[in-house]
Structure 1
Amino acid sequence: MKYGISGRPVPELFVPYWIDAEGMHCPPVTLFSLGQRHRVLFFYQHWCPGCHSHGFPALLSLIERTRDRDVAYAVVQTVFEGAETNTPERLSEDQRRYDLRIPFGHDGRLPGHRLPTTMENYRTGGTPWFVAVDPAGVVLQDGFAIASEEFIAAVDKGRAPT
């Protein structure tokens, strides 16, 4: 299977469990609810060493670098293994650990499925996995890392002059 969906329309999120920016349970987050703007989705697992050594630091750096730009972020724990450790309760733990005031979702495997819906729909290769989406809903880039400079240039290209 070829991983990724770069250049394609972004699939809707079908993630059943979410916490909001304050760590409180909330209704499901959708791409529409994130707004028609640039969006970055970050998929991870709590027990994934690379998610903590590379993924979250890259996400934090990108958030800091786009603080003055109109970009929405959401984090989804895509549990394809270690369901006893990668639980919904870990979301608020990770949200606090990295001081991230953005929504976190939890997507586990459905009975009879090998992977969570998010991983199937986004054709991810594992975790950490980034998905950058433009305001028209097209995936600009996706993969185990994010090309921050390329993403910021795309955001700036779409900004009105100040």
Structure 2
Amino acid sequence: MNSNNPLAPEIEASDWLNTDRPLSLAGLRGRVVVLHAFQMLCPGCVSHGLPQARRIREVFSEEDVAVIGLHTVFEHHDVMGADALRVFVHEYRIGFPVGIDKAAGNGGIPLTMQNYALRGTPSLLLIDRRGHLRLNHFGRIDDLQMGALIGQWVNDSADSTSASTFTADDVAPGRCSVERNS
């Protein structure tokens, strides 16, 4: 196992859209997984993140790359329920699977968002073919840069230990941040 890149935590979804069965990262091993965390009321998600995820789905083979949306609601809980999300997914013609992040018991930060220590939306997670988390990126990322990373990991050998990392300082504006109590 690559100690620099831990296995990605499983997605904790309360429901799934655009798939006839729940998805698991273990079940997707052998493919690069692009997990796009979004909120339907996040301007950066609507203007950049979701269109980018759609373009990734169109460019890369489904045999090599799985694109998954994760609707993770950390604010405005009352207006972003499952029924509203179904309408949003239909209206925006999102064709890839979308998991609804499981709510925390206290109504706070959803479980998958907690497990990945996501800082807000849009967030993009890249998981390599072996199930290792290779990128946890908050905010906007350039299409060309994203395509190069995905292409690198599609072609990575099982023995590769290289990793690219980004920080929140590498991104442009257009993101919705989580305010956490310290």
Quickly name the TM-score band, shorter chain normalised.
Answer: 0.7 to 0.9
| Aligned match of 2:12 | 14
Provide the aligned length of Structure 1 versus Structure 2.
150
Residue type at the aligned position of 1:48: C
1:64-79 equivalence runs, <5 A = 64-67=58-61, 70-79=64-73
> Tell me, which stretches of 5 or more residues in structure 2 are unaligned?
158-182
Q: For 2:37, what is the secondary structure of its paired residue? A: strand
For the 8 Å contact 2:5–2:132, the answer to whether it is kept is yes
**Equivalents in 2 of 1:43, 1:106: separation in Å?**
10
Q: For 2:151, what is the secondary structure of its paired residue? A: helix
For the 8 Å contact 1:83–1:108, the answer to whether it is kept is no
| Aligned match of 1:3 | none
In the alignment, does 2:22 pair up with 1:28? yes
**Equivalents in 1 of 2:122, 2:63: separation in Å?**
24
| Aligned match of 2:91 | 97
> Tell me, which stretches of 5 or more residues in structure 1 are unaligned?
1-5
For the 8 Å contact 2:56–2:67, the answer to whether it is kept is no
For the 8 Å contact 1:50–1:127, the answer to whether it is kept is yes
Q: For 2:49, what is the secondary structure of its paired residue? A: helix
| Aligned match of 1:133 | 127
TM-score normalised by structure 2 residue count: 0.72
For the 8 Å contact 2:31–2:63, the answer to whether it is kept is no
Deviation larger for 128-137 or 32-41: 32-41
**In percent, how many aligned pairs have the same letter?**
30
TM-score normalised by structure 1 residue count: 0.80
Deviation at 1:101, TM superposition (A): 2.4
Q: For 1:16, what is the secondary structure of its paired residue? A: strand
Deviation at 1:98, TM superposition (A): 3.6
| Aligned match of 2:39 | 45
Runs of 4+ in 1 over 6 A off after TM superposition: none
| Aligned match of 1:111 | 105
Using CA pairs below 8 Å that are at least 6 residues apart, which structure has the higher relative contact order? 1
Deviation at 1:111, TM superposition (A): 2.4
For the 8 Å contact 1:74–1:104, the answer to whether it is kept is yes
| Aligned match of 2:78 | 84
- Which whole-Å deviations, capped at 9, do the CAs of 1:60-84 have from their partners, x for residues lacking one? 2222221375111211110111111
